[in-house]
Amino acid sequence: MAAAAARLASRQSPISKLLRRPLLPSCISSGLRHLSDQATPITVETSVPFVGHKCEPPSREVETTPGELMGFFREMAMMRRMEIAADSLYKAKLIRGFCHLYDGQEAVAVGMEAAITRKDAIITAYRDHCIFLGRGGSLVETFAELMGRRAGCSNGKGGSMHFYKKDSGFYGGHGIVGAQVPLGCGLAFAQKYLKEGTVTFAMYGDGAANQGQLFEALNISALWDLPVILVCENNHYGMGTAEWRAAKSPAYYKRGDYVPGLKVDGMDALAVKQACKFAKEHALKNGPLILEMDTYRYHGHSMSDPGSTYRTRDEISGVRQERDPIERVRKLILSHEIASAAELKDIEKELRKEVDDAIAQAKECPMPDPSELFTDVFVKGCGAEMKTCQRCVAALGCLSEPASCCSSTKE
């Protein structure tokens, strides 16, 4: 990295079709001379144009910096490595239960974060590990949660589908398809009511896009101009069902009818950043907007799905070759001579070690105490709590009896 920064300082970037440097870098014109060349603005055109529905799409020219591109590369490579490691841990039976991997879709997570702050809220479905990392979650918390350990982000009690990080505006992690969308609209209601000047990104898949609750929530959000952005991550499959078999109109950005929408290349982190910036400004002024992120998952739907029975291997390798989000950023970094291929490989090597170290640390963490089984179920002080008895806790401690005697609640 130091070598890359030194080379940056001594070289002019080549002029390519994709790059146009302003005459005066904004870090100088704004007097921020202490910023290194990592902050020198460069302009890159998005891979494909945005397509708008009932709105004028933003410009394809996206402003970025060498520092941002290196950050995108590092974060996406970390997410990719983490998901590959989760796959191995699952196969080794160290992760149990449901597990849905995000590799292929990383540009959505990092591009979105680049456009918003952690005061803005994000809520998503069960494909949530990388969204958690994007919100500042750590690798140890991730692996600990996946392996059901106390140090996990949900104290080891949520597992893969229920990651949370409320202190940086991440509201989960939801297993019921589509159910997070009305919850996200509720978060946006609170943001508007409290005059926070922040927005909520409510994420869902193309499969969820056909659900009734989505339209009900969108109707009331539009009626009340709530600052909510519905982000449809269209990876083109819901479990094993291709979008064309489930949706009469797979143009999800248009499905809000009276609600404006934007179709975005979700494999291009810079396009995602531009779209999310546009969406946030729009939502604060005018209410809801739908962003359809055209993306792709490389793994199967979940660990029980090999992912190759309803699509061809050629389709998967074609997307890897043509549209991979990490390779796209790698090419940009190389073409703008921000870092060399060897330096990028070194970063990937470092990340591999970071991931391995985090797994080793997570494996050392204890499991939650059986007495924790009934805590964190209801919000404290809202009049509802779980009733537990010692016999049941003891039985659950050795995992030999069902918890039927503890299933009642008291108001």
205 Cβ contact list (under 8 Å, min separation 6): 125, 127, 177, 232, 233, 234, 235, 238
Site for ligand TPP in 102-161 (CB under 6 A): 127
Please identify which residue in 205, 250, 261, 300 interacts with Mg ion, judged by CB under 5 A: 205
Q: How far is the CB of 299 from ligand TPP (least distance, A)?
A: 10
Q: Is 75 in the site for Mg ion (CB under 5 A)?
A: no
Q: Which is nearer to Mg ion, 37 or 206 (CB)?
A: 206
Q: Are 133 and 143 in contact (CB under 8 A)?
A: no
Q: Which residue is nearest to Mg ion (CB)?
A: 205
Q: With binding defined as CB under 5 A, does residue 104 bind Mg ion? A: no
User: In this chain, which stretch among 174-182, 222-230, 250-258, 262-270 interacts with ligand TPP, using CB under 6 A?
Assistant: 174-182
Q: How far is 382 from 390, CA to CA, in rounded Å?
A: 24
Q: How many residues bind ligand TPP (CB under 6 A)?
A: 14
Is residue 268 a contact residue for Mg ion (CB under 5 A)? no
| 282 lines the binding site for ligand TPP (CB under 6 A) | no
Does the footprint of Mg ion cover residue 142 (CB under 5 A)? no
154, 235, 274, 295: residue in contact with ligand TPP (rule CB under 6 A): 235
Of 204-223, binders to ligand TPP (CB under 6 A) are 204-208
176 binds, options ligand TPP, Mg ion, none, Cβ within 5 to 8 A by partner type: ligand TPP
When asked if residue 235 is in the footprint of Mg ion (CB under 5 A), the reply is: yes
What's the rounded Cα separation, in Å, for the pair 108 and 128?
A: 12
Question: Which residues bind to Mg ion, rule: CB under 5 A?
Answer: 205-207, 235, 238
Query: What are the residues binding ligand TPP (CB under 6 A)?
Result: 127, 175-177, 204-208, 235, 237-239, 301
